[in-house]
Structure 1
Amino acid sequence: MPDFASERRLRLITQPAGTPAAELRRAGLDAVTAPLVFAIEPGDEVLRESAERLQRLAEASGADLVGFGVTEHDDSGRSARVAAPSRAPLHGVDVVRCLAPRDTAIALEPWRVVFRAELLRQSYAAVPTPLVDDRAIVLLAYAAATSYASVDTAEYQRSTRLEAFDTPVEGFHRALERIGAFRSLESEFRARARFSVNPEPMLDAYQSGYLTVIAEALTRFTALSPEQRVQEHAWLRDPAYELDAVLAAVTLAPESLPTLVAYGERRELGRAGARSVLLTTNVLTTGGVSGVLLTQARVLLEAGYRVTIATHRAGSAENLVPEGATIVQLTGTSRKQRVAQWAQLCRRGEVDVVIDHRILYSRDWPAFALAARATGAATIGWIHNFAGRPTYNGNDLQTLLATHLGALAHLVVLSPLDVAFWKLRGIHHVSYLPNPPSPFLLNTGGPTTGRSAPVRRRAELVWWGRLEEHTKKVTQLVEVAAALQRLGVDFRLRIVGPDWADMNAERLHELAAQRGVANRVVATGPQHGADLLDVIDSSDVFVNTSIIEGYPLTLPEAQSRGLPIAMYDLPWLSLIHDNPGVITTPQQDPDALASAIADLLADPSRYEAMSRASIAAATHATSYDFAQLYEQLMQGDLPQEYSPAPSLEDGRRILELLVFFAEHSTPPPRATVGRISTGAPTRRRRRSRPRTLGERIERKLTPLGHRLVDTAPWLRPVAGNVKRVLLRRS
């Protein structure tokens, strides 16, 4: 212990026990007479002659701040070297811009740089006492500094051992104190920015520092035990922090988003009358998802709602927007900017309910749902495909959905079987609703009596949609044509639609030539409006070969023109249940589908009965009072029939379908779903990949199987047998 009485260079300043470290540093600064200040934390060390080297650089450069490298040591004895904030000299506004960059976690500990004493003293003077944390003081000093210099060497030895003495709860509370300290200085930063010729770097620096301390609090909260999180979660529901916590998570701590979902307050539907609705999709086109959204917009406008349509990417066909609706495109260059813009859109538009159609096509939707929740808007997620789609695509989207669906006020899915799937996974705020009819279905009229059978003439078969092999399996149409030719059927098959990433008309023609049906199969390219209607009305049967679909609008559209439908079975589609206008055969069996078509064409009376049944089914599809259904949905009082309890048969069918899709799993031809970009590097532990098909299927189905046998214990032997069969197949 130094002899303070005899060492003239040392001064001992005492403060009451329990004084915050920030106030201890303020007291030391008040006693400083030297021009430079070098703060050292208890337990840390500096290299011999570091102070002298840093002093020489400060005097030679005239810099307000001098940076240096730091070597950090953890409890296990491992060390890591952290370079100085900047190696290059900085001047003017570049100091704060570089030391506290926008949308980045920034290090603001007082021991990271040497300060010109007067600069630091002025920063402390701007803050009232007592001060519990001085990171914001450091940021004020960065903002006021006019010059910066640095050395390449690591002059400071940082030990993290002292932090281990804090309990997790104490560390979390200290992080909350830092948030409060930052908020108390917001007005000071804004006041200084008003008098600056370039205020943005200062405001960006404050925002980065503020989000940094919130992200630290989120990380410490997530590290608490479940019991501790239950006791400490109230801050996540504080309106003062709710949106800021979302922005901090999106920008700096994406791993904490499930925490926000789990411990934030889920927004319930029906708390207040909904009058303003925000509909959102990635981009507005002529596709199926956009068609559903646009029809919803028309229905809601007619019912008296204020409707805004928001898109997340450029390239929308704005001419499709119905009169009375407003369209907005998010323009932020980072996810944080877009989420902030989203919150602003919800607030300015006084949005009551968001209907998000991106749930199955995006990984960033949870952040937007949480941001809407922070503004008081409830989000309804709308899934347009069967729950097994991620399994077929071979991705982990089902896990992301199950983890984050709590951010939604409600989930709308395709069918009762989808309801069963999600309820078995523990998601109970879920219902199914029929998709609204397309404008084509509503506006083209259609026959009121059935068609005549194609007797003593060539039968005309038709398919239309996008030429996508991944889900629609359009090459199977060529195989069906080859099988029909072998059966001696006189026919022509027209394939109508635009080329896609994995298939095009030229390739289909090549395949047809290889299979000997080039004179039977015609890929016409896309058709629209009256031209498409002419093709449909001159056809006799609609053929569908999809392996997985959501709500294919082509089915009711074809039936509205009196066409019988022959298709591979998609058992989750409510539209085909109890629909005598539809013939289904096993998946991926073109011979069976061709035989079913041949049998139908050979029986005129059956054909005409199916044509009449198709018209009746299409009429039923347009008979729903969608305005009433949407009103009931947004008020939280949909009839229970739209959210049935799962049954034993539901569980069996779901298991069979998931096994089928896992066995046929194939990634889409292009990346349609992007991963969350955090804006800052994060370390992720690499997860071992399942090596065999059976292991891949088991990983996907095990959580569902556990939920299923918990709900229906009598299924336990069945689930065990399925698992053993899967592993044997591998």
Structure 2
Amino acid sequence: MARPGEQATAAPFVSVVVPVFNDEDHIREALESCLAQSDPDLEIIVVDDHSTDMTAAIVDDLADQDERVSRISHGENKTAFQARRTGVLAARGQYLMFLDGDDTLAHNAVEVLRNRVSARPDMVHFGCTITGRDGREHPGFAAKLLPPAPSLKGGSILRELFLEAKTFEGQVWNKAYRAAYALPLFEALSPDARVPRANDLPVALMLAACAQTYIGIKDRLYNYRFGSGNATDGLISTDRFKTLVNFRPAFDVLQRQIGSWPIPPNATDEIITRLRSQCIERSVRHLSQVASPNGRELETLLTEWPAAPILAALYQTFGKREADFLQFVGDPLKCANKPTRDAEVVALYLDQKGIGGMQRVASLQAGLLARAGYRVVLLAKMKREEFPYPVPEGVPFVELTPRETSRTEEFLDLYGGIELAVKEYGVDTILLHANYRAELLYLILGLELLPLRSILTIHNFSLRSVFDRSPRFGTLRAAARHSDCLAVLSETDEVFWRLSGVETVRYVPNPVEFTLAHGSLDDRSANEAEVGANDAASEPCDVLWFGRIQERTKRVSEVVRIFALVAQERPGSKLHIVGPVPRTDRVSFRRLQELTRALGIEDAVTFLPPATDVDALIRSSSVVLMTSIIEGFPMGLFEPLLAERPVVMYDLPYLEVPKDNPGIFRVPWGDREKAASVILDLLEDDVRRTASARSGLAALKERFSERAVLAHLRGAIEVSRAQTVTAEGEWPGPEDRRHEAILFDQLFRLFHDSLGAGRSESQRNEVEAFYNTWHGSRTIRYSERLSVPIIAVRRITRRFRAAFRHTQV
């Protein structure tokens, strides 16, 4: 066998460097394609990277037959990156070509090359043929790798091959390099670097950056076997995933070397940024190929790359398909330097524009925390002038206005803005007032890796997903588990989330402003239909309903039906329905008007647009009615009592506001006769109406005083710091069981309601039968057809029979 040191009298025209590792199935064919060249003036240097199969024996057999073949062996596996370097340092040819151990050269590759290099270019770029595992060619892929121009010089070589290309294609096997310019570059590479993936990319960039002359020819001189080696286009295992996404060593090699290349600083920055993005995007693409995720795949990526571009790429790839993404999310990834001191600087994050309860809560919370001695920062996805409520004095308002050109840029801007604000103001705790959006889960995963504590606030009742027939719960549960604390609006919600596996959860009521501010109902942003005249708001009425005229959640039709019973017993009674009509509810609004005509009460019902003087609006009425099917923390219950008017409502037993309140009269949901009876009694007794409202307001002021709300809020902040909830007796205790019973009762009421429209009679009957079986405390048989993605039904139903023996809901 010929050895590298046994040099011939004249240097060959081409040195073909062949890095191999366990290529026994293809190496003979690869080498024979070299030996069969129409121009035989070449040497073939095979660098065996510590193969454990018959590769070395096959190479030696061919070397014994032809002295142009030689083998160099590594004593350990150093990756193809070092194998190429070893081969180049041993090469004697005027030009260098690279051949992978499972590919072949066209029979005339050397001849064509010789005929085209009379001007001695540094780089010759040629075409290729790409063949899949099934033997079919891939002309589209091959076309992407064609030379971009017939000739290039200087900086235009790097620009055309990489900077202006959509992606970095780092192949070295479809190019030949003049040895005199390439050899010093390979010598400068560290002999200790190990690059298991994308090992040719930093080399290809280096050679392009340092080349001065380039020619491109379209002749297909290389046959690439797609699907061999590290290439993959099917499902993969987790171990295979970890191998395929090991791009970081290639990136690190490039970062160390790029400073010595003759390129301007802006090109250096662009290459580093784009290469990082490309490595991350390809890693995320491989993530979607994992056949049986174990939940640790994301952790693998986050240990190699910064969180922001990883999460941005995931957001770009998965977007609203959170269910697909969640399978790759394992246990929470905690930042190593989370603050353990007491909270000092609290940021409130708000992601929704417009006039609404969430914005109002953020404004009130900011003032509450500032008065309590915290330093407070407001972070909002809006400009300062778009924020509709007061910003407390001394509280910075940070505008987060991300680009919306792509999901990736939007997320990078948003996360980067939060990260900068955290550093600038020294934030140690962040409260997220976030509507459910696709970016929420990705954002929380990113915050988890910053040196601060996060508190996620849920502004809806926990069973809202059942009502919406949405898979949202799974995403919210994941977001909650990756937050340091979950803040919810009721004790029932707290029990729900604990049953769902979220341990660090606390009930935190919204702050309450015990004044009637002008304009708090003037939400014109959603109003597309005028429903009346403003001057009618000052006219007296017996019954008032106000809010968004949104039938699905507010059930305004129930208000009309209840009032019809009132008017039947008390002719001459008046009902005012006040509020905006969302664009999506125009049809429902027309049906509501038709219902008043069908019930014969159209002359007694007045529809009005939002009022500007809330106090005058409520005081013009005698009783306020509320018939929502679901609520979170309804501020509409405070305002009537502030105006000394009682409220009659369909009972939502999980709500905290109406509990034990003498000014709020609760009747079973859907019991119109009972609601009408209570209203009639109140209309006949002016003294009782006023006294009950005043007593109700006093109860609210005591229960939701600034001191009480602050205590709950401080409790959530402490939970986020300690990462645990202090046990208060055995759990679940009797009160927890009562909340479980409330949850299950509401679960089936909402689920049954969600099946009421657009569902078959058999489905509705099935739900009803299941509900009745459960409610009668008989044996519960779980049905897969009734599965809802909202609660661990199997887990909690074991407790319900016992709960209902001791509880009356």
Question: Which residue of 1 is the match for residue 715 of structure 2?
Answer: 632
CA contact (8 A) 2:202 2:250 kept: no
Would you say 1:377 and 2:452 are equivalent positions? yes
**Structure-2 separation of matches of 1:586 and 1:363:** 36
CA contact (8 A) 1:380 1:408 kept: yes
Q: 1:339 aligns with which of 415, 430, 434?
A: 415
Shift of 1:579: 1.3
Shift of 1:88: 8.2
Q: 1:4 aligns with which of 63, 70, 76?
A: 63
Q: Deviations over 1:268-307 (max 9, x none)?
A: 9871232222211222432111111110111122223332
Greater length-normalized contact order (CA 8 Å, ≥ 6 residues apart)? 1
Q: Using a 3 Å threshold, how does the CA distance of structure 1 residues 142 and 478 change in structure 2: closer, same or farther?
A: farther
Question: Which residue of 1 is the match for residue 522 of structure 2?
Answer: none
**Structure-2 separation of matches of 1:298 and 1:581:** 28
Q: 1:648 aligns with which of 717, 729, 737?
A: 737
Q: Using a 3 Å threshold, how does the CA distance of structure 1 residues 186 and 515 change in structure 2: closer, same or farther?
A: farther
Question: Which residue of 2 is the match for residue 128 of structure 1?
Answer: 190
Question: Which residue of 2 is the match for residue 324 of structure 1?
Answer: 394
Question: Which residue of 1 is the match for residue 201 of structure 2?
Answer: 138
**Structure-1 separation of matches of 2:647 and 2:804:** 38
Would you say 1:550 and 2:632 are equivalent positions? yes
Q: 1:499 aligns with which of 577, 581, 599?
A: 581
**Structure-1 separation of matches of 2:489 and 2:336:** 23
Q: Using a 3 Å threshold, how does the CA distance of structure 1 residues 280 and 623 change in structure 2: closer, same or farther?
A: same
Q: How does 1:38-437 map to 2 (within 5 A)?
A: 39-42=98-101, 44-46=102-104, 49=107, 51=109, 65-66=125-126, 68=128, 70-73=130-133, 83-84=141-142, 85=144, 89=148, 92=156, 93-97=159-163, 99=165, 101=167, 113-114=174-175, 116=177, 124=186, 127-133=189-195, 135=198, 138-139=201-202, 141-142=204-205, 144=208, 155-160=223-228, 171=240, 174=243, 178-189=247-258, 195-196=264-265, 198=267, 201-212=270-281, 215=284, 245-247=310-312, 249-250=314-315, 259=328, 262-265=331-334, 271-312=340-381, 317-318=386-387, 320=389, 321-325=391-395, 326-333=397-404, 334-337=409-412, 338-358=414-434, 361-437=436-512
Would you say 1:516 and 2:600 are equivalent positions? yes
Amino acid across the alignment from 2:81: A
Q: Using a 3 Å threshold, how does the CA distance of structure 1 residues 476 and 256 change in structure 2: closer, same or farther?
A: closer
Amino acid across the alignment from 1:183: D
**Structure-2 separation of matches of 1:388 and 1:290:** 23
Question: Which residue of 2 is the match for residue 700 of structure 1?
Answer: 788
Question: Which residue of 2 is the match for residue 684 of structure 1?
Answer: none
Shift of 1:411: 0.2
Q: Using a 3 Å threshold, how does the CA distance of structure 1 residues 51 and 627 change in structure 2: closer, same or farther?
A: farther
Amino acid across the alignment from 2:548: R
Shift of 1:598: 1.9
Paired residue secondary structure (1:356): strand
Shift of 1:634: 1.6
Question: Which residue of 2 is the match for residue 20 of structure 1?
Answer: 79
CA contact (8 A) 2:338 2:452 kept: no
Shift of 1:588: 4.0
Would you say 1:479 and 2:561 are equivalent positions? yes
Q: Deviations over 1:520-543 (max 9, x none)?
A: 222221123xx2221112221111
Q: Using a 3 Å threshold, how does the CA distance of structure 1 residues 238 and 543 change in structure 2: closer, same or farther?
A: same
Paired residue secondary structure (1:483): helix
Q: Using a 3 Å threshold, how does the CA distance of structure 1 residues 129 and 415 change in structure 2: closer, same or farther?
A: same
Q: Deviations over 1:109-131 (max 9, x none)?
A: 655x4464668767645542222
Shift of 1:366: 2.2
CA contact (8 A) 1:463 1:494 kept: yes
Q: 2:652 aligns with which of 570, 589, 600?
A: 570
More displaced stretch, 458-467 vs 185-194:
185-194
Superposed CA RMSD in Å reads 4.6
CA contact (8 A) 2:88 2:183 kept: yes
**Structure-2 separation of matches of 1:204 and 1:80:** 30
Shift of 1:352: 0.8
Q: 1:468 aligns with which of 531, 536, 550?
A: 550
**Structure-2 separation of matches of 1:429 and 1:397:** 20
**Structure-2 separation of matches of 1:374 and 1:251:** 20
Shift of 1:585: 2.6
CA contact (8 A) 1:478 1:512 kept: yes
**Structure-1 separation of matches of 2:633 and 2:219:** 62
Q: Using a 3 Å threshold, how does the CA distance of structure 1 residues 249 and 20 change in structure 2: closer, same or farther?
A: same
**Structure-2 separation of matches of 1:78 and 1:569:** 68
TM-score normalized with structure 1 length: 0.77
**Structure-1 separation of matches of 2:96 and 2:402:** 44
Shift of 1:619: 2.0
Q: Deviations over 1:69-115 (max 9, x none)?
A: 644439xx9998872446683784353245464xxxx775655x446
Paired residue secondary structure (2:657): helix
Q: Deviations over 1:668-698 (max 9, x none)?
A: 9xxxxxxxxxxxxxxxxxxxxxx95767872
Q: Deviations over 1:473-514 (max 9, x none)?
A: 233333333332223343222222222133359735454344
**Structure-2 separation of matches of 1:546 and 1:204:** 51
Question: Which residue of 2 is the match for residue 662 of structure 1?
Answer: 751
Amino acid across the alignment from 1:648: R
CA contact (8 A) 1:69 1:82 kept: no
Q: Using a 3 Å threshold, how does the CA distance of structure 1 residues 83 and 37 change in structure 2: closer, same or farther?
A: farther
Q: Using a 3 Å threshold, how does the CA distance of structure 1 residues 186 and 493 change in structure 2: closer, same or farther?
A: farther
**Structure-2 separation of matches of 1:374 and 1:339:** 12
Shift of 1:560: 1.8
Q: Using a 3 Å threshold, how does the CA distance of structure 1 residues 209 and 627 change in structure 2: closer, same or farther?
A: same
Amino acid across the alignment from 1:16: G
Shift of 1:384: 1.2
Bigger Rg over Cα: 2
Q: Using a 3 Å threshold, how does the CA distance of structure 1 residues 327 and 487 change in structure 2: closer, same or farther?
A: farther
**Structure-2 separation of matches of 1:657 and 1:48:** 72
**Structure-2 separation of matches of 1:346 and 1:58:** 59
Amino acid across the alignment from 1:14: S
